[in-house]
Structure 1
Amino acid sequence: MPVNVLFSARPELWPVYEPLLSDGLTNAGVDAAIGTQMDPDQVDYVVYAPNGGLLDFTPYSRLKAVLSLWAGVESIADNATLTVPLARMVDFGLTQGMTEWVVGHALRYHLGMDRHITVQDGTWTPEAPPLAPERTVCILGLGMLGEASARALAVLGFNVTGWSRSPKDIPGVTCLHGEDGLRAALTTAEIVVLLLPDTPATENLLNAETLALLPKGACLINPGRGPLIDDSALLDALNAGQIGHATLDVFRVEPLPIDHPYWAHPNVTVTPHIASETRPVTAAQVIVENIQRGEAGEPYLHLVDRALGY
């Protein structure tokens, strides 16, 4: 009897994922039927994105696991109708894309690129930037994406500090945790990168109090989640010079409204949620492996702790 896999995501993704999942499962030795319409009580796995329309999992009595196409699961983790294992998306393409984006924007700040790219007024100021070991970069969030970004920056020679909820050990990175660790991490951070999940514990983590801990003129990079930042506090810190510049890729409301102050602020760079995305080729491989594991009775990869929300 074939394994029934329901694909619940934006319709335009189906033609892309269908051959990747079908071929992948066949090559993995899994006899599977895949579709976008199935009787709920016949579904074994759901390949899922929150914008696919499926919200009530109650009728899915045979369901074994929900396999998310998104790295963030805050919009589904607290769904009371979902009682089976939930796996978030962790794949090479997503991680590599985020690492490249973070390193690129960190280097932009470190090298002072804007001064030479945007100001061509004939002034000759031969001031070289410091070397990477003289610059401290702080990564808030040491999950898969945060750890990969921290490691890449450490390889370049930066003095990298990482902060997480629980203790971590990453070679070349000073790892801190807990409330005291957060304060210690922020007080030396010339460049801060936010790669935390959106949970009640992380909302407004960067606020008036914590922004004031940063060295004056520090730069902020947020490819994580919009609610991590108190927007009013950040604008105040930017206007006061406490924060020198902020590059923001994620927001509480997306697309970012045209009248939002971030668009017009001279010390804010807005990017339209492009830091990284799920790549179908590599994402399909992760989905196939999790289905293969489920059918073999092995633990699923990248399971979400529902109590923590990530």
Structure 2
Amino acid sequence: MCILYMAWPSDAEQWRAAFARLAPELEFRLAPDIGDPGDVRYLIAWESSADLIERFPNLRVLYSAGAGVDQFDLSLLPAHVPLVRLVDPAMASIMTEYVQFAVLALHRDILSYRAQQTARVWAELPIIPAARRRVGVMGIGNLGLAVLERLHPLGFQLSGWNRSEKAVPGGRCYVGMEQLPAFLAQCDILINLLPLTPQTTGILNRERLDCLPMGAGLVNVGRGAHLVEADVVRALDEGRLGGAILDVFEQEPPPPEHPFWSHPKVLMTPHVASTVQIDGAVSVILENLRRERRGDALLNVVDRSRGY
């Protein structure tokens, strides 16, 4: 029995070192040195292939090497092999740090002050108290809830939008597509943390962006495909969006001619809002090994009917 890593070569030695430190009794292999494929019970990969079980006939669990799983074609995965997301508490902490920074930057007009600095303009902008700023989160899973809990002490008016009812600290949860326009209409700052599914692809298009209050701020830390990027540019140019802090994009990096690079109302970061923390990911795998031995349910198994 062994665990095989076949994802990012640049991270491979860090994974080897983590397993050697945290579980030296386990056999850990790095692709392309697979050895006997029949020994592979647990696979850490970025994506799957149609011949997965043919290659690894005794595979028990497939672990996603990233926090998301939209890169996997779930139809290619055999029903008896669970797909598991490597999400640990450190990832949530890192994500909430980024979102808190982004919300405060939009709240205190930092993008406008950056543009003023570039133009050598010295001018004060009105300060709006946090208690009068409405901040909404799309997607109230573990990360969305952690973001809401981090923002709550700052005094913002909070709300969330989700496919099912969830508790929002100090605020309201809007549910389902029928309540999406009403949710967007009261978001001075909108944070997207949705998983990417066929239902959420392109969800922030012109129609939805036009539901936002004039001058709203946008934080996208979900997936690039959630945004119709041309519609975001239009909304920025027309003033519907007053600023956007974007960490994920349809193409990464965006092509050199993309207007996001030079737009004065956009701050881009290179998909760094949160990343898999290798020690934490190995701890999830080890806990799942213990659960498997006890016959308990595994942590972070993807619900294939939902796609996340």
User: Once the 2 structures are TM-superposed, how far is the Cα of residue 54 of structure 1 from its aligned partner?
Assistant: 6.3
2:98 is aligned, of 89, 96, 101, to: 101
Q: Does the C-alpha gap of structure 1 residues 124 and 304 become closer, same or farther in structure 2, counting only changes over 3 Å?
A: closer
**Structure 2 equivalent of residue 32 of structure 1:** 26
SS of 2:116's partner is coil
Residue aligning to 1:183: 181
Alignment of 1:5 onto 2:14: no
Mapping for residues 221-240 of structure 1, pairs under 5 Å: 221-240=219-238
Among all aligned residue pairs of Structure 1 and Structure 2, give the percentage whose two residues are the same amino acid: 35
1:173 alignment partner, one of 160, 171, 174: 171
Q: For the residues of structure 1 that align with 2:67 and 2:50, how far apart are their CA atoms?
A: 18
Post-superposition offset of 1:247: 1.3
Distance in 1, Cα, partners of 2:188 & 2:106: 9
Q: In 2 relative to 1, CA 308–38 (structure 1 residues): closer, same or farther, beyond 3 Å?
A: farther
Is the 2:134–2:157 Cα contact (8 Å) retained in structure 1? yes
Once the two structures are TM-superposed, the CA of residue 32 in structure 1 deviates from its matched residue by: 2.3
Residue 49 (structure 2) pairs with residue 58 (structure 1): no
Query: Aligned partners of 2:12 and 2:201: how far apart in 1?
Result: 33
- Whole-Å Cα distance in 2 between the matches of residues 249 and 288 of structure 1? 31
How far residue 197 of structure 1 moved from its aligned partner, in angstroms, is 1.1
Q: Distance in 2 between matches of 1:228 and 1:182?
A: 15
CA distance in 1, matches of 2:235, 2:35: 52
Q: 3-state SS of the aligned residue for 1:266?
A: coil
Cα distance in structure 2, aligned partners of 1:240 and 1:118? 17
Q: Which residue of 1 aligns with 2:292?
A: 294
1:281 positional shift: 1.9
How many residues are treated as equivalent by the alignment?
Answer: 301
The one-letter amino acid paired with 1:103 is: Q
SS at match of 1:306: coil
* Aligned equivalent of 2:68: 72
Match of 1:145 in 2: 143
Alignment partner, residue 86 of structure 1: 83
State the AA in 1 paired with 2:142.
M
CA contact (8 A) 1:140 1:162 kept: yes
Contact 1:67 1:89 in 2 (8 A): yes
Contact kept, 8 Å, 1:150 with 1:173, in 2: the verdict is: no
Which structure 2 residues correspond to residues 251-290 of structure 1 after superposition, within 5 A?
A: 251-290=249-288
Higher mean alpha-carbon deviation, 170-179 vs 180-189, is at: 170-179
> Match of 2:145, as an amino acid?
E
Q: 2: distance between equivalents of 1:57 and 1:261? A: 40
Q: Which residue of 35, 44, 49 maps to 1:47?
A: 44
Give the unaligned 5+ runs of structure 1. none
Distance 1:99 1:14, change over 3 A: same
Cα displacement (A) at 1:123: 3.9
Q: 1:7 to 1:54 in 2, by over 3 A?
A: farther
What SS does the corresponding residue of 1:108 show, helix, strand or coil?
A: helix
The CA distance in 2 between the partners of 1:152 and 1:271, in whole Å, is: 21
The one-letter amino acid paired with 1:90 is V
Q: How far apart are residue 292 of structure 1 and its match?
A: 2.2
Inter-partner Cα distance in structure 2 for 1:167 and 1:283: 29
* 8 A Cα contact 2:134 2:188, kept in partner: yes
CA contact (8 A) 2:53 2:59 kept: no
C-alpha RMSD of matched pairs (Å): 1.9
Q: Does the Cα contact within 8 Å between 1:56 and 1:81 map onto a contact in 2?
A: no
- AA aligned to 2:297 is P
Q: Is the 8 A contact 2:148 2:169 kept in 1?
A: no
Distance 1:86 1:47, change over 3 A: same
Change in Cα spacing, 1:101 to 1:232, as seen in structure 2 (3 Å) is same
3-state SS in 2 of match to 1:58: helix
Q: Structure 1: which amino acid aligns with 2:203?
A: L
**Runs (5+) with no aligned partner, structure 2:** none
Cα distance change of structure 1 residues 58 and 123 upon mapping to structure 2, 3 Å threshold: closer
Aligned partner of residue 131 in structure 2, secondary structure: helix
What is the alpha-carbon distance in structure 2 between the residues aligned to residue 77 and residue 169 of structure 1?
A: 31
Q: Which TM-score applies when normalising by structure 2?
A: 0.91
User: Which residue identity is paired with 1:304?
Assistant: V
Q: Which residue of 2 aligns with 1:217?
A: 215
Change (3 A) 1:113 1:255: closer
Give, in whole Å, the separation in 2 of the partners of 1:74 and 1:124.
44
Q: Distance in 1 between matches of 2:246 and 2:221?
A: 7
